[in-house]
Structure formats: C-alpha cells, structure tokens
Amino acid sequence: MTDENTAPDGGLSAEAQAVVDEIEEKDVDFLRLQFTDILGTVKNVAVPATQAEKAFTEGIYFDGSSIEGFVRIQESDMRLTPDPSTFAILPWRDGRSARLICDVINTSTGEPFEGDPRTILKGAIERAEEMGYQVNAAPEPEFFLFEEDEEGRATTKTNDAGGYFDLAPKDLASDVRRDIIYGLEQMGFEIEASHHEVAQGQHEINFEYDDALTTADNVGTFRTVVRAIAAQHDLHATFMPKPIPRINGSGMHTHISLFTEDGENAFHDDDDEFNLSDTAHSFLAGILEHAPALAAVTNPTVNSYKRLVPGYEAPVYIAWSDRNRSALIRKPAARVPAASRIEARFPDPSCNPYLAFAALIHAGLDGIDKGLEAPDPVRENIYEFDEEKREEYGIETLPSNLGEAITALESDEVVQDALGEHVYEKFVEAKSQEYDEFRIDVSQWELDQYLEKF
C-alpha cells in the first residue's frame, strides 16, 4: 500500500480523492503516470482513468530493467506511486488526458528506489530541512525553435531572424510562445515573462520560483509542453545546448535561495555590501568549490561543452559577481529582502533537473557545513582577462569537455554522495560511454579539414 495516498481507514487520502473527483468531473479518459530516468528523459505509463484509485492505493507496476540506469533484469519489478499534488490536465489532448508525476518504489524493499532521480532530490531537500532551510529554485530554460522538413524531421533552420527582445516581424515565433504560455498556465504555471533570446530562433519563457521539488517537476513539464505545442505549429523545439555553431547556446540559469523555518530569507543581510548573508556566501562558495564535478551533472552532454566556451555569454570561469554575467555565479539585484538569491549560470537545459538541483543543493550545503568563505566578486569582464590575469585573481575554469567533467566527478565525494551510489555509478557509466562514442567518431568538420589535405 502507498501510505501517503491512503487514509488511516484504508481509503484514499483527501488529496488523492480530490484528484479522482476531478478526473470524473472533467471527463478525463487517460492518465499518464510520469517519471524520469537518470538522464532526465521523461517516461510514462498510460492507464485508463478508471484505474486512478488503484494507482493511488496499490501503485502501477512496470519493468525497471528497461529504463536507463535503473536495475538489472533479475531485479526488475518497480512500482509507480503517483503524487496527487502533480495532477494536471494536458492542454494539447482536448482535455481528455491528464498526467501525474510519480515516485518509483523498489518492490523488493517497499522503499523509495535509490535510482529514482526524484527520490535523490528529496534526499537533498531533507538534508536542507535538517539544517533548518527550505530550498527555493527558479530556472530559466532556453530553447530553439526550428522548422521541420517535408517528412516532419527536425532541421536546424530557424523560423525567424529575431534577436534579443525583438518584436514582429523579426520575431515570427511570438504566436508560438503565446500558445506555449497558455498551455503552461492551464497546467498551473505562473508565467513571469517571455521573450526572444539573443540567437536567431532562440527563446526564453520564465516561470515563477517554487520549492526545489516542484520546480524540478516543472522543468520536465515545461520541456514537454514546449515540444508538444511547437509541434502543433509544425516546428521542432529543442533544448540541446548548442545546436548551431558560433552563436549563443541555450542555458538554464538557475536561481537558488534558502528560507528559514519562520519564513525569513536566509540569504539576505542588509548590512552586507551585496546584501548577502554569511550563509549565502558559504553556499555559493560551496558551489564554486565543487563546480568542476557539478558540471558533469548540470552540463551532462558532449554538446554541453560546445556552449561552455568564451565569447557566447556562457560562463566558463569559476568566480562570482554582483554585476557582470561572465562569472559562474551572479548575485542578481533584489528589490526586497525576500528576493535575495544567487544565480548559477552554468547549467543547461539538457540536464536532469532532479539530479542537477540535488547536486547544487548538496554542494551549497557543504559550503555552509564547512563555513567556506566566498572569494571577492570579480566585477570586470573575465572574458577579457588573459591567462596571467586569471592566475592573479585565482580564477580557474570549468572542464572543457565531458570527459574532464567525469574525471572531476570521480574525485569529488560530495557530489558523488549527492547522487547516491547507485545513480553515481550508472550515471558515470552512461556518460563515459557517451564520451567514448564521441571520441571515436569522425565528424564532418574533420573530413572537410583533412580528407583532401593529407
């Protein structure tokens, strides 16, 4: 039995019953029970809506050996436990389908599965709560919209020539963004702003911050909604970090703050030059300390490191600033104390949000535990520093490729512990294989450069 969804008398909990009632009232036909693999890919099991009560009380079983990074075939039975707070009707399915995000239960122990990314993030949140903090997060996932060819396959041809904050006629995707926003709002999002980004075909839609678990759920939902509604416009939406060379790539700048149990922002201090508390300084120092290993999780693809190069607004230097955006972490301006936060600018939208947030939280909390002191902020444009000046400031760089990031992760016990033994081993195995496949491949660039030359 799934205790959190059942009442003491064996019936449904009030929250689960409310979902069942809404399913009946809104004539929902199918439920999509969603979870993610360790790479962040959303998986789902579709069941008739008539199975909703059974899903809450008994769970839905599936073969975990078929999911990336889960279990071997001899230990494959897994159970999905829906979280009733995540119920939402899918706006592109004529209101007849809905989704529930699930936790994965190991049927052999009856406990949350140690390979479930959502469970990993819950562990990070629990650690923060034990220290007296609630973690809030607000990511900014950027994406590209590309045209499709005659067979419906994605191209890298953008459908507009717009730039940062441009309007029509250059920004031809404003109607697409509008429809995406409508879809997100129907699924419970509070949208703050949307605009065209710097690169042609690149866009950003910002949604309201929330607790870390809800926000991670929202990132997965956001990517799904963007892709589905773009497809209705015969466009392909991609969160690939760098789909086009020599232009800006897509990041997922992530704003983080800690609040105390009495609702005060633990990151704010009126007396500090930057209005950041000692807690905030130590938290950001922890992220800087573990940044090379964090990159394996927050920037987890071969392509991620095509974005992390100087000159295209992506941070590569391990430093922080209250002004410029060339540093790894920025302290954004805050109108009120509750808005004091830090912004990690290096993550990208190809990451698994559950694992990325968990790793960032653990790294920051490690900084608090150890009382780490943040270095002085760098207010100059670090992109203009030569190597000698970077050494003078003590500024190091992120790994230059996925292989270096994996090596950094293999020597960082804090980030390893953040992932847990199971996920860490499976993650490194999958990413090492990805990087090896990339290394032995011969690219078109190499053929163009060398085939006729040698």
Domain locations in the chain? Answer: 15-113, 122-448
Catalytic-labelled residue, pool 345, 348, 366, 412 = 345
For residue 335, pLDDT over 90 is answered with no
- The CATH code that applies to domain 15-113 is 3.10.20.70
**Residues in the annotated binding site for Mg(2+):** 140, 142, 197, 204, 253, 343
Among this protein's residues, is 345 annotated catalytic?
yes
Among this protein's residues, is 253 annotated catalytic?
yes
* 436 burial level (CB within 10 Å; 0-12, 13-18, 19+): exposed
CATH top class, domain 122-448 = alpha beta
Mean pLDDT, the chain, as a whole number? 89
Confidence of residue 3 (pLDDT cuts 50, 70, 90): low
Q: What local confidence, expressed as pLDDT, does residue 167 receive?
A: 47
Q: Are 180 and 230 in contact (CB under 8 A)?
A: yes
**Residues in the annotated binding site for ATP:** 192, 207-209, 255-257, 325
Among this protein's residues, is 63 annotated catalytic?
yes
* 379 burial level (CB within 10 Å; 0-12, 13-18, 19+): exposed
Phi, psi values for residue 128, rounded to 5°: -60, -40
Among this protein's residues, is 29 annotated catalytic?
no
Tokens describing residue 104: 């994965």
Look at the alpha carbons of 313, 314, 316, 318 in this order and tell me if their dihedral is positive or negative.
positive
Look at the alpha carbons of 96, 100, 101, 105 in this order and tell me if their dihedral is positive or negative.
negative
For residue 421, pLDDT over 50 is answered with yes
Whole-model pTM? 0.93
Tokens describing residue 299: 């920037």
Confidence of residue 354 (pLDDT cuts 50, 70, 90): very high
Q: Which helix (H) or strand (E) holds 318?
A: strand 317-321
Among this protein's residues, is 204 annotated catalytic?
yes
Mean pLDDT calculated for residue range 403-413:
98
Q: What local confidence, expressed as pLDDT, does residue 162 receive?
A: 54
Strand-pair category, 133-148 with 202-207: antiparallel
Instruction: Tell the residue number behind the tokens 């969804």, with chain if given.
Output: 5
- For Cα atoms 378, 379, 382, give the angle at the middle one, nearest 5 degrees: 70
Cα distance between residue 78 and residue 375, in whole Å = 46
Q: What local confidence, expressed as pLDDT, does residue 324 receive?
A: 76
Catalytic-labelled residue, pool 204, 269, 348, 412 = 204
**Residues in the annotated binding site for L-glutamate:** 248-249, 307, 313, 325, 345
Among this protein's residues, is 410 annotated catalytic?
no
